[in-house]
């Protein structure tokens, strides 16, 4: 029992010891029953049954961790036999791999962005700064307000990619140009690309995580071994381990490919002296000069689906 002169009320409420200003109390005291053992009930008493329910909730592991039912059940692809002409297999869904061949040529790149023919980016289904409309069978090109992505480009994207393989590749032999009394020429006396041990093809989006090496180039997409020469300017490259596989649980997608060619020691190939302002096609300083270009062909395997129809064999 508190003293009669104490301002601490026994029934709970405001302890007005802040200069008799009850609207600005210095502290609050809980009402009676605050020590009932219920930390979540605003200091209200809790019955024995309520306490047992809390015990059931926290300590009955068999009920606390009961698995939930799935919100989205798996799709049933089995043939229910409701077709008039039931020429569909037991499983309606047929997943298969379709191969697409992609041809990439450095001649198609934007030389203002990619002056070096050994380093450029290919965009898949890029945005465009023009639109094509048909008027009486005639295509009309009109500019848009949006800035498009310049080439090289492929006019579709690829989803559910299972693998990407390098099928074939053609590379230039020379990377040096010199100025002579006759003008600028390709330096045929310098070391050629096919004189090196091999060429590294790096594609950032297709880095290899399943190859290990003693250097930092094990993540390269593939290694190119020099093959047959075509005249004095080009040679065929033989791909070695130039492929990328994706897991079935995490199929790939291809929106762009960042391509780089490096020597066997990891140094990026480059042709010094190229000038995007030179448009004369026979000038070797032109970044689009034919002797500087490379060409590669990729095979992209995409997982696609169709109805599993039974094959009809007709008698001849």
Cα→Cα distances 81→77, 93, 306, Å: 12, 14, 18
Cα→Cα distances 2→27, 31, 192, Å: 17, 15, 102
What pLDDT was estimated at residue 113? 92
What pLDDT was estimated at residue 271? 95
Of 215 and 262, more confident: 262
The answer on pLDDT for 254 being more than 70 is yes
What pLDDT was estimated at residue 314? 72
What is the 8-class DSSP label of residue 63? Answer: H
All domains in the chain, ordered by first residue: 94-306 (2.60.120)
Helix or strand or coil: residue 303?
Answer: strand
> Are residues 184 and 176 in contact, defined by beta-carbon separation less than 8 angstroms?
no
Residue 65 pLDDT class (50, 70, 90 cuts)? low
Q: Report which of 264, 276, 106, 134 is spatially closest to residue 197, judged by C-alpha positions.
A: 264
The answer on pLDDT for 31 being more than 60 is no
**Percent above pLDDT 90 for the chain:** 47
What is the 8-class DSSP label of residue 64? Answer: H
Of 164 and 182, more confident: 164
What pLDDT was estimated at residue 165? 96
Maximum CA pair distance of the chain? 117
Token pair belonging to 270 = 């480059």
Query: 227: part of which helix (H) or strand (E)?
Result: strand 222-230
What pLDDT was estimated at residue 60? 64
Q: Write the DSSP string, 2-56.
A: --TT----TT-EE---STT-TTS-S-EE--TTTTSS-TTTTT----HHHHHHHHH
Q: What rounded mean pLDDT belongs to the chain?
A: 82
The answer on pLDDT for 82 being more than 90 is no
Token pair belonging to 98 = 């379709």
Q: Write the DSSP string, 236-282.
A: EEEEES-EEE--GGG-EEESEEEEEEE-TTSPBP--TT--TT---TT
Lowest mean pLDDT among 149-153, 196-200, 284-288: 149-153
pTM of the model: 0.71
- Mean pLDDT, rounded, for 63-85: 82
């Amino acid at each position: 029992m508190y003293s009669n002169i104490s301002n601490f009320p026994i029934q709970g409420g405001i302890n007005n010891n802040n200069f008799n200003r009850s609207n600005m109390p210095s502290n609050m005291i809980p009402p009676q029953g605050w020590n009932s053992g219920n930390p979540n009930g605003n200091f209200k008493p809790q019955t024995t049954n309520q306490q047992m329910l809390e015990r059931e909730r926290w300590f009955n592991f068999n009920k606390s961790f009961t698995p939930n039912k799935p919100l989205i059940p798996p799709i049933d692809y089995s043939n229910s036999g409701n077709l008039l002409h039931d020429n569909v297999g037991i499983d309606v869904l047929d997943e298969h791999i379709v191969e697409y061949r992609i041809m990439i040529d450095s001649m198609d790149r934007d030389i203002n962005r990619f002056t070096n023919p050994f380093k450029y980016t290919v965009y898949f289904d890029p945005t465009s700064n023009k639109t094509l409309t048909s008027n009486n069978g005639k295509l009309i090109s009109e500019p848009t307000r949006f800035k498009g992505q310049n080439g090289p480009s492929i006019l579709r994207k690829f989803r559910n990619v299972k693998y990407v393989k390098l099928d074939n590749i053609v590379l230039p032999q020379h990377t040096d140009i010199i100025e002579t009394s006759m003008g600028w020429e390709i330096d045929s006396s310098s070391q050629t690309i096919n004189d090196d041990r091999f060429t590294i093809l790096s594609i950032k989006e297709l880095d290899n995580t399943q190859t290990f090496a003693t250097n930092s180039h094990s993540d390269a997409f593939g290694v190119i071994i020099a093959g047959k020469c075509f005249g004095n300017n080009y040679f065929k490259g033989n791909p070695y381990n130039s492929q990328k596989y994706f897991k079935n649980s995490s199929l790939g997608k291809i929106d762009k490919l960042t391509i780089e060619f490096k020597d066997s020691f990891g140094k990026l190939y480059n042709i010094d002296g190229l000038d995007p302002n030179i448009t004369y096609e026979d000038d070797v300083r032109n970044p689009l000069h034919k002797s500087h270009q490379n060409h590669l062909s990729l095979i992209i395997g995409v997982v696609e689906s169709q109805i599993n129809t039974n094959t009809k064999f007709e008698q001849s």
